[in-house]
A and B are shown apart, each in its own frame.
Chain A
Amino acid sequence: GDSVTQMEGPVTLSEEAFLTINCTYTATGYPSLFWYVQYPGEGLQLLLKATKADDKGSNKGFEATYRKETTSFHLEKGSVQVSDSAVYFCALSDRARDYGQNFVFGPGTRLSVLP
């Protein structure tokens, strides 16, 4: 079945450091890929998405490129801030499903940014 693997962390960085959170996937079809962010005590929010190969999703300084050849969707940010401290989830959506539940989430990566 479909699956998502991501580095579990925790990842601790200093403010203004470069961030990479790796995400790789296994899918039988041609999925869409997503990154969600969860701030402390909150639900998940959609951060960015990409629906086809070589698409780049971007939002709030974060970027991720859909790489079909390496089945990856790594999240990057050039300069992190303390306010980026959160848990980040990589996810895929199986577009071949006819109805209902079609998302697979990774385990989440906790990021802590120190001032």
Chain B
Amino acid sequence: DVKVTQSSRYLVKRTGEKVFLECVQDMDHENMFWYRQDPGLGLRLIYFSYDVKMKEKGDIPEGYSVSREKKERFSLILESASTNQTSMYLCASSPPPGGNYGYTFGSGTRLTVV
């Protein structure tokens, strides 16, 4: 089975801290994604990457950056955490598009910024 592993299930950080959320997948997938999930707002795409060192902005990139130095790892960075970034963060991966493939999600990281 494809596995997508997010390094932390729960995180509590202080306002202004730099926060790193790590995601690793073990199936050699080209595509990786970061979403945030908030009540009433559904899933919103923050950034995605279709290759090493490649990244593209999603719908809500402000306040975030990403890093993909190796194919299996995709990191989400909160440059200066703020309370409005308190959320559930979900990482996903997929093979190249062709439409028949689903995304495989990690278990999520619930981040609280105080």
**In the bound complex, what is the Cα–Cα distance between A36 and B90 (angstroms)?**
14
Min C-beta distance of A105 to chain B, whole Å: 5
Min C-beta distance of A36 to chain B, whole Å: 8
Contact segment of B13-21, B65-73, B95-103? B95-103
- Do A34 and B97 have beta carbons less than 8 Å apart? no
Is B74 interfacial (CB 8 A cutoff)? Answer: no
How many B residues touch A, CB cutoff 8 Å?
A: 28
**In the bound complex, what is the Cα–Cα distance between A108 and B35 (angstroms)?**
14
Min C-beta distance of B98 to chain A, whole Å: 6
Residues of A with C-beta under 8 A to B107: 42-43
Q: Mark B35-61, 1 if CB is under 8 A from A, else 0.
A: 000000011010011100000101000
Residues of A with C-beta under 8 A to B90: 43-44
Min C-beta distance of B60 to chain A, whole Å: 13
- Do A44 and B97 have beta carbons less than 8 Å apart? no
Min C-beta distance of B59 to chain A, whole Å: 10
**In the bound complex, what is the Cα–Cα distance between A36 and B42 (angstroms)?**
13
Q: Mark B1-38, 1 if CB is under 8 A from A, else 0.
A: 00010100000000000000000000000010100000
Given the interface pairs A101-B56, A105-B43, the reply to whether A44 lies near B105 with Cβ below 8 Å is: yes
Residues of B with C-beta under 8 A to A41: 108, 110
In addition to A34-B102, A102-B97, 18 A-B residue pairs with Cβ atoms within 8 Å of each other are A31-B99, A32-B100, A41-B108, A42-B108, A43-B6, A43-B90, A43-B106, A43-B107, A44-B90, A45-B105, A89-B43, A93-B97, A95-B98, A99-B31, A99-B50, A100-B97, A103-B103, A106-B42
A interface with B by C-beta (< 8 Å): 31-32, 34, 36, 41-46, 49, 51, 89, 93-95, 97-103, 105-108
